[in-house]
Amino acid sequence: MLVMARIWETAVGSGDFTCESCGALYSVHVEETLVQDRSSAHCEVCGRIMADWQSGHRVVFVLKERPGPDRDDTEE
C-alpha cells in the first residue's frame, strides 16, 4: 500500500503525515511493539482510514493542524 510505504519512509521514529483526503496534518510516531495486532488509523477530521497495518508496530497519529477552509460547509 502506497500510503503505508510513505509512512514508513517518512516517519520512522517520528515525522509528519498529511491526510490525503482532507489535508489534515498529523505528527506520526512509529514504535516497535511485541503485539502482533491489526490496527488502523482514522483521520479525526474526515473519518477516513489513513492507514492500516498488521505487524509489530504501533503507530500514533497526533493531529497538529486541521485543513484550511477548502470547503465552506459550516456556514451556520
- Going through 1-76 in order, the beta strands assigned E by DSSP cover 14-18, 25-42, 49-65
Cell of 16: 509528519
Complex with Zn ion: residue 20 or 58, whichever CB lies closer: 20
Complex with Zn ion: residue 25 or 30, whichever CB lies closer: 25
Give the footprint of Zn ion on this chain (CB under 5 A).
Answer: 19, 21-22, 24, 43, 45-46
Q: Count Cα neighbours of 41 within 13 Å in the Cβ-side half-sphere.
A: 22
Residue whose CB is nearest to Zn ion in the complex, by number: 43
Complex with Zn ion: residue 4 or 45, whichever CB lies closer: 45
